[in-house]
Amino acid sequence: MSRETLRGWMSRAGLWRAGRQKLKQVHVWRPRRAAVGELVLMDSSPFRWLEDRGPACQLIAMIDDASSRVWGRLVPHDSTEENLRTLGGWLERYGRPLALYTDKNSLFFTSRPVQWEEQLRDLPARTQFGRALAELDIEWIAAHSPQAKGRIERLFGTLQDRLVKELRLAEIATLEQANRFLQITFWPFWERRFTVQPAQASNAHRRLERAHRLEQILSVRVVRTVAADHTVKWNGQRWGVPRAQVCAGLPGARAEIERRLDGSHWLRFRGRYLPLVACPAAPPPSASPSGLRPPGLADRKPKPRTRIKTKYTPPANHPWRQPWKRTFLSCEKPDISTLR
């Protein structure tokens, strides 16, 4: 049978529909988690929170799924360091949640291939934020659509109306004033007004153990090779280990540079933390503080450049240019009268 005949039979039998049918994504309502700390949602919202009084900024917020408890900060830009600071604020106040729910932003999700250091330790490819969550034993759950994290999306819709008005009434124009207002006034008001009673009275948050050093976990780390002069390079800057902190086996070894949230840099090598100091940049070869050439170079004569000849031209006294010499070199008998 031809294709069209078979299609007609299938259409009459209800097995064929004309046109390509697009499958609709189905979103199913999900109940709240039973206890506080089982699931915490985290996201950022770029908005003119300070309107025209201050700079453009973003609100990084975290909300508990069971009780709608909120914590957040206004930051100039959405970065790994600012998200780690916001997570650190939640950890210091409430403890470690069981799971963290975010979107698939590049700060939380990466598609890069697994590096060989990670393969040796049997680790997946993770971002700096994902590595911090793994060290804190917090499960990371990725949302596949904005509707999946609707609770924090609705939170931003409410804050873009209420918080903007509160900041306007308080005449706040800087990020420092805004974060102080959030911590002292707004978030306590929000907890009294909008939090709900969870289904279970238990708290699933886990306290921070002695081994959980937040200044080390909430940091940015990269792996570099230590040079022979005990220095490492990162983002065009050279960092050196002080002479008093130098240990055996450091030159040529692979070590981790750790940039903490307070701006300090440390070298993590064999379980030890060695402080790093910034090395001054080397001046250009022809530059000097006075703007003159270094002493000793003014009297030097530049070396002449060697010219490469592409075609050889015989000089005037070359035997090829002398008729009598050319005669001797030829096979013919020479004329003696010409030699006189």
Q: Is the pLDDT of residue 290 over 60?
A: no
pLDDT in tens, 4-25: 899 889 888 888 776 665 566 6
Q: What is the pLDDT of residue 335?
A: 59
Q: Is 41 exposed, middle or buried (0-12, 13-18, 19+ CB in 10 A)?
A: buried
| pLDDT attached to residue 249 | 87
Each residue of 66-77: pLDDT tens digit?
999 999 999 999
**pLDDT tens figures, 49-67:** 999 999 999 999 999 999 9
This prediction has a pTM of 0.73
Tell me if 48 sits within 8 A of 56, measured CB to CB. yes
Distance between CA 187 and CA 175 in Å, rounded?
Answer: 16
Residue with tokens 């830009």: 77
Nearest Cα residue to 239 out of 248, 247, 229: 229
> Which domains does the chain possess?
40-194 (3.30.420.10), 218-278 (no CATH)
pLDDT at residue 116 in the model: 75
Kindly state the DSSP code that residue 183 receives in the 8-state scheme. I
Return the CA Rg of the chain: 37
- Rounded Cα distance, 168 and 254, in Å: 52
Cα separation, 293 vs 7, whole angstroms: 87
